[in-house]
Amino acid sequence: MSMPIQSISLDRSSPGTLKDKLKDALLSQIRSGALRSGERLPPTRILADQLGLNRGTVSSAYDELVADGVLNAHVGRGTYVEGVPVNGNLPQGPFRWTDHFTDLEVVPRERELLAQATRTAGPDTISFAGLVPDETLYPVGALRKALNEVIDEYGAPLLAYGPPGGHDIFLDFLRGYLAEERGVVQGEQELLVVNGSQQAVDLLARAFLRPGDTVLVEEPSYYGALEIFRGYGARLVGIPVDEQGMTVNGLESMLAREHPKLMYVMPTFQNPTGSTLPASRREELVRLSSRYQIPIIEDDFDGELYYDDAPPRPLKSLAGSEGVIYIGTPSKMLFPGLRIGWVAAAEPVIRRLSRIKQVSDLSGSALLQAALARFAEHGELKKHMPVVRKAYGRRMRRLLASLEEYMPEGVTWTHPKGGLSILVSLPAGLDSSELLPDAIAKGVMYTPGRLFFTADGANHLRLSIGRTNEPAVETGARRLGEVLREALAKSKKVGRRERGAVLPPV
């Protein structure tokens, strides 16, 4: 007896190949008992026609299930469901982990491209890819001294589990630092120490999002946050970014129409563009958050990395900012490996996040938090800030001048006044993902633009100055310019050939 082919349906909008979706559908039928041991499956041609698939796709799905022991193929007789043992389990074979994973988290192709590029890059490759600070600028000696002091003073308790919300020593320092340097004043129960700002975004997504919820994000935005929101099943809606950050014209009508669960913004030295919201746009965002009761996640991951003039104060420092959830980290200014960050928000938010965090990782490192507080008490943080600002300011100015010199016509880029990154926009028709292997061959790396966009972003790329000194910045820009010139010349040749091919015969 052959199974009824109407009982199989494929969700073509979900991630994954059609072959894997067909395999999953057949496995689901077998597990539910709709397909029983000994039942004959439709011939590949009939099932392919019914589902609108290529016959080879169906054949491949059948073959892999035969190899797994789920199906049994008989030449001339067809393909049958293999016998199922009495206990109801499927026949033994390689454990199929993919049958158990959710479909929500999909690694973008560009992530794999970057990983492969990093493995194959030569020692002379200049990398603009990672948003990572320069290790040669780390004040290691001052941190070592602070570590030794707090261990001598507090001893073994610093090596035990710490308080879930953060060590009191660090919380006391953090309250004063945020009030003095950022204008963010928080009460006793309105701060949470986390393991980096990435964990802060993840905890907030877990606390607020259900599959299908809408999140408004900048377009482009930080791909780590986009991946987290997608991982929890959120629907992302992008708001365009210009040289002054997220645009606010039309935002109110967007909020009224979309009813988002959250907004995620980087008002200062936005990643990847480096743009900064002026005070007027910040005030408008806070006003809209309050009016429509929509929480804003304000990611201030590098707000202290300004080159000349200090940027406007954070959204969280403005009047009426009760709906703003402020997250920050010293990672870009100091040591990213410490994995320390914070969340400043209303007490109900902090209480909820604290419970989720305690389930997730019990606590952060009391030793590192105490050492960082002591480091700051000795004045090392204030001493280090101007050093970093000057170093990155020189590199950014060198990069902007080098782009002006080496980029071909039609290429544009942003002009940050702080931070570590800029966004480069290529002429239409060029794809930064496709060009990455050519760039590696020339000895330069960057981050493809698709990672940062909710839509396409193919003709964009991000350059980061974190780990490149000034001579390397210029050399990298020159190499990138060569790659783009060659790609443009090739695309023009292809374009002429294609235009000639469609001319009608005389």
In angstroms, how far is CA 112 from the centroid of its own chain?
13
Q: How far apart are CA 299 and CA 325, in angstroms?
A: 8
Q: How far apart are CA 433 and CA 317, in angstroms?
A: 39
CA distances from 103 to 38, 95, 215, 235, 360 (A): 30, 18, 19, 14, 22
Q: Are 363 and 477 contained in the same domain?
A: no
Give ∠ CA 461-343-264 in degrees, rounded to 5.
40
Q: Could you say which residues of the chain have pLDDT below 50?
A: 1, 85-90, 496-506
Q: Are 238 and 186 contained in the same domain?
A: yes
Q: Which two tokens stand for residue 22?
A: 């067909």
Q: How far apart are CA 31 and CA 33, in angstroms?
A: 5
Q: Which helix (H) or strand (E) holds 55?
A: helix 55-67
Using an 8 Å Cβ cutoff, are 289 and 323 in contact? yes
**What confidence tens digit (pLDDT) does each residue in 113-170 have?**
777 777 777 789 999 998 889 999 999 999 999 999 999 999 999 999 888 899 999 9
Q: How far apart are CA 473 and CA 126, in angstroms?
A: 8
Tell me, yes or no, whether 231 lies in a domain.
yes
Q: How far apart are CA 122 and CA 120, in angstroms?
A: 6
Q: Are 441 and 369 contained in the same domain?
A: no
pLDDT computed for residue 42 by the predictor: 87
**Cis previous bond, 85, omega within 30:** no
Q: How far apart are CA 465 and CA 398, in angstroms?
A: 10
Residue 409 phi, psi (nearest 5): -60, 140
Q: Are 173 and 318 contained in the same domain?
A: yes
Using an 8 Å Cβ cutoff, are 374 and 149 in contact? yes
Tell me, yes or no, whether 398 lies in a domain.
yes
Residues of the domain holding 23: 5-99
pLDDT computed for residue 500 by the predictor: 37
pLDDT computed for residue 99 by the predictor: 63
Q: How far apart are CA 502 and CA 232, in angstroms?
A: 47
**What confidence tens digit (pLDDT) does each residue in 198-236 have?**
999 999 999 999 999 999 999 999 999 999 999 899 999
Q: Are 367 and 391 contained in the same domain?
A: no
Alpha-helical segments (H) within 178-271: 197-208, 223-231, 251-258
pLDDT computed for residue 310 by the predictor: 94
Q: Are 44 and 161 contained in the same domain?
A: no
Helix, strand and coil percent figures for the chain, each rounded to 5: 50, 15, 40
Buried b (16+ CB within 10 A) or exposed e, 84-114: beeeeebeeeeeeeeeeeeeeeeebebeebb
Q: Which helix (H) or strand (E) holds 109?
A: helix 109-120
Count of beta carbons in the 10 Å neighbourhood of residue 417: 18
Q: Are 344 and 387 contained in the same domain?
A: no
pLDDT computed for residue 103 by the predictor: 58
Q: Are 51 and 75 contained in the same domain?
A: yes
pLDDT computed for residue 363 by the predictor: 86
Give the residue from 333, 350, 380 where a domain finishes: 380
Using an 8 Å Cβ cutoff, are 315 and 282 in contact? yes
Strands 262-265 and 245-246: unpaired
Domain containing residue 184: CATH number: 3.40.640.10
Domain containing residue 415: CATH number: 3.90.1150.10
Domain count of the chain? 3
Q: How far apart are CA 424 and CA 426, in angstroms?
A: 7
Q: Are 308 and 215 contained in the same domain?
A: yes
Q: Are 395 and 473 contained in the same domain?
A: yes
Tell me, yes or no, whether 104 lies in a domain.
no
Q: Are 338 and 445 contained in the same domain?
A: no
Tell me, yes or no, whether 506 lies in a domain.
no
Buried b (16+ CB within 10 A) or exposed e, 355-394: eebeeeeebbbbbbbbbbbbbbeeebbeebbeebbebbbe
* pTM of the entire predicted model: 0.79
Give the residue from 380, 414, 443 where a domain finishes: 380
User: Look-up: residue for tokens 């007896």?
Assistant: 1
Tell me, yes or no, whether 267 lies in a domain.
yes
Q: Are 163 and 34 contained in the same domain?
A: no
Length of the chain: 506
- State the DSSP string of 119-144: HH--TTPEE-------GGG--HHHHH
Give the residue from 343, 364, 380 where a domain finishes: 380
Domain containing residue 60: CATH number: 1.10.10.10
